[in-house]
Amino acid sequence: MKKIQLGLVAVTTALLLTGCGEAKITGTPLKNVDSIAVTSAEDIDVFCPTGICTFELTASKPTTATITMHYDYTKLFTKIEGVDVIGEGGKNAKVIDDDQFKVDISDANKPVKIQVIDYYRN
């Protein structure tokens, strides 16, 4: 009986610890995106050479991500003019800097489509 109880405690602990990990984010380029680099569950770099682009983010569980927008590896966006979040899985996009914004990815494994425009785009 004690072996069964210990086994159940071990399984429950393992499940709880697994659920406490970071969200895994996947980025998918849709329009005018060269690449998306997910550096952590909270930090994403998007490379958009035209200054107007669309991409999708999917998270394994709800998280808030900070997205940094780049033209290329040497030049950041100058001033984000607008961020549009399309879909039920995301909300509360907020520009926090000339080249960064935060977005809440609220529904796990549901793609969030995002369009970003730089004011001084190419």
Q: In what helix (H) or strand (E) does residue 6 lie, and over which residues does it extend?
A: helix 2-19
CA distances from 50 to 24, 29, 103, 116 (A): 28, 13, 22, 11
Q: Which DSSP string corresponds to 60-84?
A: SS-EEEEEEEESSSS-B-S-EEEEE
Instruction: Check residue 110 and give its pLDDT.
Output: 82
Instruction: Check residue 4 and give its pLDDT.
Output: 43
Q: Which amino acid is at 96?
A: I
Instruction: Check residue 91 and give its pLDDT.
Output: 74
The pLDDT tens digits for 48-78 are 999 999 999 999 999 899 999 999 999 999 9
Instruction: Check residue 20 and give its pLDDT.
Output: 57
Distance CA 115, CA 31 (A): 9
The pLDDT tens digits for 65-117 are 999 999 999 999 999 999 999 877 677 789 999 999 999 888 777 889 999 99
| Count of Cβ atoms closer than 10 Å to residue 83 Cβ | 17
Q: Which amino acid is at 98?
A: D
Distance CA 65, CA 84 (A): 15
Instruction: Check residue 40 and give its pLDDT.
Output: 86
pLDDT at 13 over 80: no
Q: For residues 16-29, give the mean pLDDT.
A: 72
